[in-house]
C-alpha cells in the first residue's frame, strides 16, 4: 500500500499505548499479514490536498444497556464533547425475532423497549434540559438521540441490527427472497418510519420518525460460527448479498416516496460490521458485490486475541507478523475488491486482560490463569478504568513501537489497550491508506471529557 513505510516510521518515533472496549470476539488463529512496502516518507502536495478535501467518518457505538450499570446516558455524548466530533452514532442493538422480523421489547435479554423509548428522562438527564412528560409518545434513548441530533445538525444515527448475542435468527430470516423482503420491510417500518408498538402512552405510528438515518448490519457471522446458539449455513454468503441488495432497494424506494425532488431526497446510509478472519470473510461475504450497495463497512479492529485464551497477547495491533492485525484486516478486504474509501477502521475504547500471569518479563505472550477482574465483566475493562490503573503507579506501560500496540503489566495482571498515542498512529494510518474513517466500540469506555474521541478527531485532521 502507498506510504506504508511512512506510517511505520511515525510509530517508531512515537511512544505508543493501548486502550479498551468490549465487542464481539473474533476467532483466534494465525494468519499471514501482508508486508509493508518500501515507499517515500515524504507526502506530496497532492496528498495534502486530498487530506484537506477528505471528510472522514467518525462512527461511535452507543450501547442500549450502558444507561444502567455504566450510567452512560445519551446526554453524556454531548457533555463529553464526543457528539460534536462524530459523524454517526450506531445504536446497539436491534434484535431479529424467530419469525425473521425486526422487533423491540420481548422477554428479558431479548429486548428493552423501556430503555429504547419508554424510560422518562429528568431535566438533568435530558439533552435539551427539559424533563419528559408521562404522556409524550417518545421517551427513552430514542427521544434523547432525537434531541442530540437537533443540537448537532448533520449527526446521523444508525440502528445496528444483531451483534454477538442477537445474531441468532439472521440465517433463518434471509433464507428466501420472500423472507428477506418481509424482514427488511419490518426493519424499515419500525426504525426508519418510526412505527413503534404502543406501550402505555408511548409509541404509535410515526412516533420515532426521524430518529434513525440508516441501518447497520451486525450479523456475526454469515457462513461461519458465532455465538453457540447462532446457526449458520453455506448459503448465508449469497443470502447476505441478497439481504444487502434488499435493504438498499427498500431504503432508496422509501426515500423516493418521501421526496419526489431527487436533489432534495434523503439518503439512508447502509453499513455493516465485518470480520477480520480471512476464513470468515470468504465464508460469508461476496466482497465486490456487497460493497456496491454499502455506503461503508466497519472493520473489526480489535479482539484479535481475547482474555479467554490461556496466553496473554495483543488485541488490536496495527501490525503483526503471522497474526491478526489492523493492517492484515485492511489488506484482506482490499485484495478481495473493497474500495479503500469505504473501509472504516474499528478502534477499541476498552482492553482485554489476564491475571495470574507467569513467565516474568513484560508479561506479553506468557501463560495466564484466567481473565482479569474488572468493573463490569472479567477480562475486559473500559479505557477510563485502565487509565486510572496506570495513574496509580502500580502498572508499567510497555510498548511495541514497531507494530503499534501497547499493554500495562504489574507483574501479575496484564491489560492490552489503545491510548491517545496509539490512536494517533492508527488515525495517521487511516489517512495514509485512504480509508474511510474510524469506528469506535464503544463510546462509554471513554473518559468523562472524551479524551479518546478527541484523539481520534485530532488524528483525522491534517496537522
Task: Give per-residue pLDDT as tens, 132-143.
Answer: 999 999 999 999
pLDDT grade, residue 168 (50/70/90)?
Answer: very high
Confirm if 92 and 157 have CB atoms less than 8 A apart.
no
Residue from 26, 6, 2, 39 nearest 323 by CA: 26
pLDDT of residue 108: 85
Q: 398 forms bridges with which residues in the sheet?
A: 407
Radius of gyration of the chain (CA): 22
Residues with Cβ within 8 Å of 86's Cβ and at least 6 positions away in sequence, in order, are: 58, 59, 60, 77, 155, 453
Confirm if 123 and 131 have CB atoms less than 8 A apart.
yes
Residues recognised as catalytic = 220
pLDDT of residue 27 exceeding 50? no
pLDDT of residue 409 exceeding 80? yes
The mean of the pLDDT values for the chain is 90
pLDDT of residue 428 exceeding 90? yes
pLDDT grade, residue 8 (50/70/90)?
Answer: very low
Mean pLDDT, range 357-379, rounded to an integer: 98
Q: Quote the CA–CA distance of 208 and 195 in Å, as a whole number.
A: 7
Helix (H) or strand (E) holding 59: strand 57-63
pLDDT of residue 262: 87
Confirm if 443 and 451 have CB atoms less than 8 A apart.
no
Confirm if 113 and 124 have CB atoms less than 8 A apart.
no
Q: Quote the CA–CA distance of 244 and 240 in Å, as a whole number.
A: 6
Q: 96 forms bridges with which residues in the sheet?
A: 102
Helix (H) or strand (E) holding 420: helix 420-433
Confirm if 368 and 311 have CB atoms less than 8 A apart.
yes
Per-residue pLDDT tens over the stretch 71-108: 999 999 999 999 999 999 999 999 999 999 999 988 88
> Which overall architecture, per CATH, does domain 4-459 show?
Alpha-Beta Barrel (3.20)
pLDDT of residue 44 exceeding 60? no
pLDDT of residue 5 exceeding 60? no
Confirm if 181 and 243 have CB atoms less than 8 A apart.
no
Amino acid at each position: 500500500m502507498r506510504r506504508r513505510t511512512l506510517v511505520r516510521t511515525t510509530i517508531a518515533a512515537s511512544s505508543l499505548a493501548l486502550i479498551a472496549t468490549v465487542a464481539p470476539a473474533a476467532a483466534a488463529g494465525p494468519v499471514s499479514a501482508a508486508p509493508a512496502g518500501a515507499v517515500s516518507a515524504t507526502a506530496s502536495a497532492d496528498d495534502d490536498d486530498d487530506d484537506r478535501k477528505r471528510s472522514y467518518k467518525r462512527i461511535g457505538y452507543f450501547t442500549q444497556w450502558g444507561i444502567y450499570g455504566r450510567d452512560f446516558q445519551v446526554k453524556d455524548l454531548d457533555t463529553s464533547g464526543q457528539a460534536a466530533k462524530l459523524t454517526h452514532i450506531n445504536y446497539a442493538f436491534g434484535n431479529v425475532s424467530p419469525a425473521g422480523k425486526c422487533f423491540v421489547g420481548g422477554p428479558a435479554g431479548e429486548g428493552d423497549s423501556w430503555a429504547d423509548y419508554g424510560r422518562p428522562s429528568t431535566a438533568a438527564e435530558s439533552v435539551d434540559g427539559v424533563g419528559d412528560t408521562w404522556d409524550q409518545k417518545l421517551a427513552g434513548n430514542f427521544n434523547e438521540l432525537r434531541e442530540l441530533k437537533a443540537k448537532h445538525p448533520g449527526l446521523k444515527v444508525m440502528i445496528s441490527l444483531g451483534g454477538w448475542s442477537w445474531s441468532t435468527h439472521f440465517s433463518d430470516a434471509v433464507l428466501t427472497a420472500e423472507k428477506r423482503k418481509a424482514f427488511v420491510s419490518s426493519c424499515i417500518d419500525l426504525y426508519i418510519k418510526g412505527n413503534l408498538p404502543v406501550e402505555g402512552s408511548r409509541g404509535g405510528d410515526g412516533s420515532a420518525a426521524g430518529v434513525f438515518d440508516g441501518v447497520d448490519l451486525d450479523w456475526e457471522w454469515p457462513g461461519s460460527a458465532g455465538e453457540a446458539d447462532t446457526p449458520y449455513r453455506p448459503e448465508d454468503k449469497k443470502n447476505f448479498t441478497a439481504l444487502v441488495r434488499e435493504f438498499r432497494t427498500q431504503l432508496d424506494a422509501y426515500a423516493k416516496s418521501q421526496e419526489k425532488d431527487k436533489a432534495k431526497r434523503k439518503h439512508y446510509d447502509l453499513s455493516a460490521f465485518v470480520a477480520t478472519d480471512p476464513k470468515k470473510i470468504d465464508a460469508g461475504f461476496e466482497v465486490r458485490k456487497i460493497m456496491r450497495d454499502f455506503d461503508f463497512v466497519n472493520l473489526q479492529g480489535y479482539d484479535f486475541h481475547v482474555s479467554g485464551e490461556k496466553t496473554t497477547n495483543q488485541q488490536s495491533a496495527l501490525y503483526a507478523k503471522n497474526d491478526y492485525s489492523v493492517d492484515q484486516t485492511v489488506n484482506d478486504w482490499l485484495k478481495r475488491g473493497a474500495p479503500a474509501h469505504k473501509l472504516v477502521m474499528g478502534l477499541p475504547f476498552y482492553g482485554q486482560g489476564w491475571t495470574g500471569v507467569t513467565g516474568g518479563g513484560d508479561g506479553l505472550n506468557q501463560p495466564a490463569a484466567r481473565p482479569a477482574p474488572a468493573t463490569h465483566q472479567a477480562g475486559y475493562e473500559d479505557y477510563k478504568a485502565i487509565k486510572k490503573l496506570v495513574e496509580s503507579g502500580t502498572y508499567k506501560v510497555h510498548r511495541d513501537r514497531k507494530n503499534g500496540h501497547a499493554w500495562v503489566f504489574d507483574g501479575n495482571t496484564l491489560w492490552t489497550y489503545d491510548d491517545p498515542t496509539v490512536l494517533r498512529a492508527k488515525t495517521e494510518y487511516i489517512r495514509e491508506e485512504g480509508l474511510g474513517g474510524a469506528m469506535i466500540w464503544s463510546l462509554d469506555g471513554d473518559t468523562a471529557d472524551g479524551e479518546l474521541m478527541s484523539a481520534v478527531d485530532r488524528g483525522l485532521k491534517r496537522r
